[in-house]
Structure 1
Amino acid sequence: MFIVGVTGGIATGKSTVCDVFREYGIPVIDADVAARKVVEPGRKAWRLIKKEFGDAVFHKDGQLNREILGEIIFDSVEKRRKLNEITHPEIYSEMFWAAVKCFFQGHQFIVMDLPLLFESGSMLDYLYKIIVVTCEEDLQLQRLMERNSMSESKAKKRISAQMSLERKCEQAHFVVENSGTIQDTREQVLQILYILRSYKAHWKLRAVAGLCCTGLVSFLIWIGFKFLYSQQSAVPRRR
């Protein structure tokens, strides 16, 4: 099984692209979904956020107030860095175990929706291919303002906090231009899906995994025989 990363700028349409993959039976592991899980009340990241940012970033019921926390971190590079240090290890742990489950289910490849792939750099070494979803800058701004009911100044601040779309596209294996119709975007994704399904990398990875499992089983059997032999040797013989 190999991993394909989907990234891009905020409000460029990553979810639209991932929905096409889901429609064709490709598992999608969403970093945003994992991020919501790791900050549930009582979990490690939740406790660390509470310690670092205080009660002001939580609702009365203990749930994280994302809007207030967002205003804090997008006004401060240092605060944003601190939040990433708290949440990213937990997020990637969630995604890792989800990927392991997909591996044992026999999937050829999976997709990971990673909004901050290039900004964090943590997952780059684990991805076989990278898809960047992009769109025209004015359209990105408009979508973000409408989607989040956000002022233009706040939306621009959110966009500028991320790496530029141009730099992301330079590092991509595939680029999906999402400024047109949904059908146009869909056709681009299906072309990429066709190419990905032609790759044979998953067989190499499964062969390596199979050899490792065989070696582990053989080692355990050897240990078992050694243990039984030692137990038998320890039993005193009758004269």
Structure 2
Amino acid sequence: MTYVRVIGLAWWLQLKMRSRSAFDGLLGVLYPLFFSTVVFMMFRHGDASGAALLSAAVGASVMGVWSSTSTTASAALQQERRQGTLELLVAAPTPLPVVILPVTLSMATIGAYSLVVTLMWGRFAFGVDLAIQRPVQFVLAAAVTVVSIGVLGFLLAVSSVRYRTAWALGTALEMPVWLISGFLVPLDLLPAWIRPISWLLAPTWGIDAIRAAAEGRDALPALAACLGLAAVYGLVGSLLAVRLVDAARRHATLALT
């Protein structure tokens, strides 16, 4: 319960800080509008049906969540290093994974704004019919998807702690992840060897659960897969964080100076 309280308080603190950030806040507001406008114009130009437009709206909304998390999550610990606070986080009595997880969860939470804004933008600016067949499962699937993206960002943040240009790694992964996760392009159109990779990504199952709920299909199987992968990310990230911190302490390389 102590760790849950720490995660909750740190998440709320990080959320307030990032909501006032010129980078995270302003771009978090503008990115969803850019993404959704381009996607809706492309689909409308192709005379897409209402179901296809709804699927595109859902994909564009989740794409905004991932874009808000990928670059900032990979650079999260590098930013702490530049500010001279990384050593304090590592030396704190609270385990490092418990300290890092709220940071990336706050990024994904800010990205969740894009999910709502994209759907509303599509409804009022482009006339997309938002007929959600299973609203309860839709809301649950959206919440789980946001959390899973936050945990994936946690794994990305831990994995890139030893790289000086960690932000570039997150930027490089931004487009490939939303592409092979099926946000906008159906997985059936991608090469067969990519599909096993997409199955290992929680956003793939998250977007599938959201679309299933919107179309009236059962979203629970995809939702369970998304939750399971998020738990695996959290476990792997926690073990990796402990391993990297131990190595940095032995070699005195935490600050990379």
**Structure with the larger RCO, 1 or 2 (CA within 8 Å, 6+ apart):** 1
With the length of structure 2 as denominator, give the TM-score of the two structures: 0.32
Which protein has the bigger strand share?
1
Which protein has the bigger helix share?
2
